[in-house]
Amino acid sequence: MSTSGRVINTALPLRVTEHGGEVAAETFVLVHGYAGSSFTWRKWLPELTRRGRVLTVDLKGFGDAPKPDDDLYAPGDLADLVVALVRELGLWRVTLVGHSLGGGISLLVALRLKDAGEERIGRLVLIGSPAYRQRLPPLVPLSKAPRLGRLLIRAVGAKRAVRMVLRQIVFDAATVSDEQVEAYARPLETPEGVRSAMAVGRSIVPDDLDATASRYPELDLPTLLLWGDQDPVVPLRVGQRLSLDLPRARLVIIERCGHIPPEESPEASFLPLAIFLQETP
């Protein structure tokens, strides 16, 4: 389920939706996490669009984006697409916001554009983002055995599987809604959606992750790190380590929150973002 807005035509295998005015002082690019979509940002959008132009991105293979059978689904492949999008749209000094896998991709995007000498990223906002080697989140290990994964999703049902996973990764399982389940399950009800999710999962840990992590101190950008204090997917210690490795990072911890602050605690997570935007014009 895509959020409302104007779809931007692009030759890239992404689904890009524009929200807010065409002429704005600020531009935000929002990148969701594994098995997510632009739906993740629905509770932030009303406030964010008051501050500028917002582009929500469904990554290749997820949400309403194309799902080609080309096996180019590693984080580096997805980061290359976001870099191409920023260049195609002629964006400069954008605020790049990434949740979970989208945060890891955002780090790669920032490094690629830095290497190219292009100041296209003005700020980073990373939410529960993987950045170092860690235990894999639920269902990702199944992608190593795609046939078994497909059979399991088919047997259990996409909605039931998504509900189980969501209840495991949020702080309060009772808050998981039918709307969330239906939005995130819909792409997994197609063979193409399952295949793409498995392809991303198989390569979700890059071979050069350690080398990439050693370069984080090069990213001299204002950076906000938002973390749920009860995040079971990307533990708080990852955010704490990132806050030391990134030269201009600020870590804000959201209490009684799991892995999806924009959905679980939209007001508590947006407030530090609003302060960050005001203090880093």
Please report, for the domain that includes residue 28, its CATH number. Answer: 3.40.50.1820
pLDDT above 80 (res 171): yes
The residues facing 250 across adjacent strands are: 224
Q: What is the mean pLDDT of residues 232-256?
A: 98
Please, are residues 100 and 234 in contact by the beta-carbon 8 Å criterion?
yes
| pLDDT tens readout for residues 138-153 | 667 666 666 666 777 7
On whether residue 170 sits in a domain, the answer given is no
pLDDT above 80 (res 266): yes
On whether residue 48 sits in a domain, the answer given is yes
On whether residue 142 sits in a domain, the answer given is no
Question: How far is Cα 179 from Cα 176, in angstroms, rounded to an integer?
Answer: 8
Q: Give the whole-number percent of the chain exceeding pLDDT 70.
A: 94
Containing H/E element for 251? Answer: strand 249-254
On whether residue 149 sits in a domain, the answer given is no
Please tell me the pTM assigned to this model.
0.95
Instruction: Tokens for 215, please give them.
Output: 């370069």
Q: Which of 105, 150, 144, 106 is nearest to 125 (CA)?
A: 106
pLDDT above 50 (res 2): no
Query: Any idea which residue has 């632009």 for tokens?
Result: 38
Question: How far is Cα 206 from Cα 89, in angstroms, rounded to an integer?
Answer: 27
pLDDT tier for residue 52 given thresholds of 50, 70 and 90? very high
On whether residue 196 sits in a domain, the answer given is no
On whether residue 258 sits in a domain, the answer given is yes
Q: What is the pLDDT of residue 1?
A: 41
Name which of 32-41, 51-60, 199-208 the model is least confident about: 199-208
On whether residue 58 sits in a domain, the answer given is yes
By residue range, what is the domain housing residue 29? 6-137+208-279
- Total domains present in the chain: 1
Question: What's the mean per-residue pLDDT of the chain?
Answer: 93
